[in-house]
Amino acid sequence: MVKQILQMKNFDQKIITNSYKETEELGKLLSQSFKAGDVVCLYGELGSGKTTFTKGVARGLGVKNRIISPTFILMRRYSLNAKDQRLTPIDSVSKIKNLYHIDLYRLESQDIKGLDLEEIMQDKSGVVLIEWPEKIKDFLPGKRWEISFKILDENLRKILIEKL
Ligand SMILES: Nc1ncnc2c1ncn2[C@@H]1O[C@H](COP(=O)(O)OP(=O)(O)OP(=O)(O)O)[C@@H](O)[C@H]1O
Ligand SMILES: [Mg+2]
């Protein structure tokens, strides 16, 4: 289901997922459209699926480590081996060397400097996924992905994908 929609190559769209597995699958599939240097903003209330989606992205990019929510440390970096990226032999994906997973839920404004966020977002070989990006809205690059998660029901999520 998810796959068919993404094959339309029209990124501005709404998708309904019926389980956490489908949201992971969406992340895995969409990861193949991410390019080194991309910033991906993940909006949505607590428990709406942002970390679940990130797990799928990590899987799709070839991250072997378990993805744990970076809530208390705000940021985790996973480095990627080209040899692990064999989901599809897409050149653009093999140029991605780092995946950054940032969760700003607990960010206090005075902590922003300590995170080197601007440096991370300028890593041209990285893909940066940010939960609670509204906390740093003035620092976000104009060119970015915006993915919004909405809880419809216990297992139902509405996910809106936009590419700015
Ligand atoms: N369709 C679905 N997509 C994603 N998660 C789902 C879905 N249905 C149920 N869930 C459940 O909802 C929860 C989503 O949690 P997740 O950690 O991904 O949320 P989050 O948006 O990252 O929240 P937080 O802001 O607290 O970090 C999980 O327990 C997952 O199993
Ligand atoms: Mg989360």
Reported as type and span, the H/E element at residue 66 is: none
Residue that the structure tokens 């699958």 belong to: 25
Domains in the chain with CATH codes: 2-163 (3.40.50.300)
**50: left (phi > 0), else alpha (psi -120 to 50), else beta?**
alpha
Q: Which residues line ligand 1 (CB under 6 A)?
A: 17-20, 22-23, 44, 46-52, 69, 103, 105, 131, 149, 155, 157
Distance 150 CA to ligand 1 centre (A): 10
Q: How many helices (H) and strands (E) does the chain have?
A: 5, 7
Beta strands at 156-163 and 13-17: parallel, antiparallel or unpaired: antiparallel
- Residue 154's nearest CA partner among 24, 20, 44, 1 is 20
Separation CA 127–CA 9 (nearest Å): 20
Query: Residue 47 C-alpha to ligand 2 middle, in angstroms?
Result: 7
Q: How far is the CA of 132 from the centre of ligand 2 (A)?
A: 9
What pLDDT is recorded for position 12? 75
Closest CA to 112 of 131, 139, 130, 144: 139
Using alpha carbons, select from 77, 16, 72 the residue that is nearest to residue 48.
Answer: 16
- pLDDT digits 0-9 by tens, 16-69: 999 999 999 999 999 999 999 999 999 999 999 999 999 999 999 999 878 887
Which residues fall within 8 angstroms of residue 31, CB to CB, at 6 or more apart?
56, 57, 58, 59, 60, 61, 93, 127
Nearest ligand to the CA of 56 is 1
The tens digit of pLDDT for each residue in 116-161 reads 888 898 899 999 999 999 999 988 999 999 999 999 999 999 999 9
